[in-house]
Every structure is written in structure tokens, then in C-alpha cells.
Amino acid sequence: MAQLDIRKFESKRLRLYTDIDPAIAERLPPIVDQAYEAWEAYFGPLPPNREGSEYQITGYLMKDESLFERAKLVPKDLPKIEHGRHRGARFWMNDQKYDYYRRHLMLHEATHCFMTTLPEMRGPVWYFEGMAELFATHRVDASGRVTFRVMPHEKSRFAGWGRISLVQKDVAKHGPRSADQVTRAPRIGSGQAVDYAWWWALCKFLDSHPRYRDRFRQIGRHLGEEPFEVLFRRYFDDVLSELWTEWPLFATGIEYGYDFQRAAVAFRTGTPLVGP
């Protein structure tokens, strides 16, 4: 493999094969190790696998895809890789122009790998893709410590991502997507960039809003125990009308550094005035 200039970079949770600049590549696997801790903290630990070995993802990050094809590292039946693809504990992705978005896409695909390993993971596409986007949206500090599920605060630090702009433009053209529109599966294929932007926005809203975040988290904890719709109803039935009232406020007000705490609406049940 070495003669084809594909090199291997490995950490506990990721074995990465790539032909990109080694100085960039070597920093990637440790990020997936940190993500693994974040996934376990959020979804709960994975059951031990049959071999009793540690969970490790294999990733292929490709600048020149033909090198990987010649080395037979891309299955022939894999659908065309536009940005990234995953299958079981493996993913394939094309190299990206921006450092931020390269890491983002890697984390998106790696989150899919983890989530599909959860027992009987079944869920709607908005949740599966939205959660991959949620965990992929990250910040790295100077020491290399990664924070996941962040609200992007500044456009330049999230180069190549663009989800907020996509939602803003779509709202300007068509208005905010309704509950039904945003949770509906795409009619054809796996969805457009704008669909991913909306799925991220919905998961980010549910994950951050003070009234919904604990409920939303419970769904992540109990995935696979019951059909997703049953879980969702269990944790959201009594707040559905507030939820879908507040959602369009978020969707129309979305911006870098959006403050969920400050934007939360205080709903009060009407108390009849007691006269003297």
C-alpha cells in the first residue's frame, strides 16, 4: 500500500487510511477518540462486540479516490461518494478544502458508524442525520481538546460548513419549515444540503433549549428500546404545542452564537384574574 502513497494513522478508536498531508492526517484519529467518549456519555456504552475487542472505526479519507480504488479499498457496490459514506464501522470520505469541514465530515460519518452499532438503532432520517451533524459541529481549543454539539459562534471558524446560512436563505425564500416538513424523509435520495441544515437545526434546537434538552437526551439514552415515534411521544407529548410554537421563532432567528437561554419563551397557563 505504501507505494501508492496511502498511509495509515491509528488511534484507539480510528484507523485512518489516507493520501493527504501526513501533518494534517495525524491529528485526526485522536479527535475520534474524544468523540467516542462524547457518544458514550450521550447514548450510553456500546455492548461488547462478539470478538470482545475494542470498538474501532476504519476510515478512508481520499484526496485521489482512484488510488483507493486501485488498492481495492472502496467496495464496488458502494454508492458514489459525494462527500462521505458509511457502512457498519467503516466510512469513506473525500478530502475537503477547509480544515474545519474535513474534521466535521469525518465526525459526521464516524457518528453514523457509532449510532448504527447501537442495539437496534432505528429512527427517522432527520434524527439520524441531525445527530451526526450535531456531534460533527465542534470546536477545538489550543490544547487539542474538542467540544462537540456546539452552536457555531463565528462563521470563519466553521469554514465550509454553512448550515446557518442555508437555513437563513431558505427561510427568506419559503419561510420556516413546519414540524411536518422538517421531520419528513426526503422524497428522493438522501436529501440535499438544505435538508441536512434543517435536520441539524432541529436537533440543535432540541438539544439546547432549556425546556426540551433533557427530554431530547432521554430519547438518545433509550434508542432501540421502543420505536422512535413511541419514545418521542413519551418525552414530548405534553410539550408539543409549546415546542412547535417556539420552533419557528428559532428557525427565523437563527444566527451565529444564537442564545437559546435568552430566546426561550416563558409560557404561562392563564390564571383567571381574581377580583375583589
**DSSP letter string over 227-247?**
-HHHHHHHHHGGGHHHHHHHH
What x/- string results for residues 87 through 126 when contact with Zn ion is judged by CB under 5 A?
Answer: ----------------------------------------
Number of residues interacting with Zn ion: please give it, by CB under 5 A: 2
Shortest gap between Cβ of 125 and Zn ion (angstroms)?
9
For 9-27, b where at least 16 C-beta lie within 10 A, e where not — what string?
A: bebebbbbbbbbeeeebee
Residue 13 or residue 112: which is nearer to Zn ion going by CB?
112
CB of 3 to Zn ion, least distance (A): 33
69, 100 Cβ separation under 8 angstroms: no
Cell of 225: 428500546
Residue 134 contacts residue 238 (beta carbons within 8 Å): no
Q: Minimum Å distance from CB 154 to Zn ion?
A: 25
All 3 cell numbers of residue 139?
Answer: 470546536
- Residue with Cβ nearer Zn ion (132 or 167): 132
Q: How far is the CB of 136 from Zn ion (least distance, A)?
A: 9
Least distance between Zn ion and beta carbon 114 (Å): 12
CB-based burial label for 213 (10 Å; 0-12, 13-18, 19+): middle
**Cβ closest to Zn ion, residue 19 vs residue 129:** 129
Q: Which three cell numbers stand for residue 268?
A: 404561562
Q: How far apart, in whole angstroms, are the C-alpha atoms of residue 247 and residue 58?
A: 37
Q: Which of residues 120-149 bind Zn ion (CB under 5 A)?
A: 129, 132
Rounded to 5°, the CA angle 199-200-205 comes to: 100
Provide the minimum distance between the beta carbon of 92 and Zn ion in the complex, in angstroms, as a whole number: 12
Q: Which is nearer to Zn ion, 129 or 246 (CB)?
A: 129
Closer residue to Zn ion (CB): 190 or 245: 190
Which 234-263 residues touch Zn ion, going by CB under 5 A?
Answer: none
Comparing CB distances to Zn ion, the nearer of 132 and 203 is: 132
Tell me which residues touch Zn ion (CB under 5 A). Answer: 129, 132
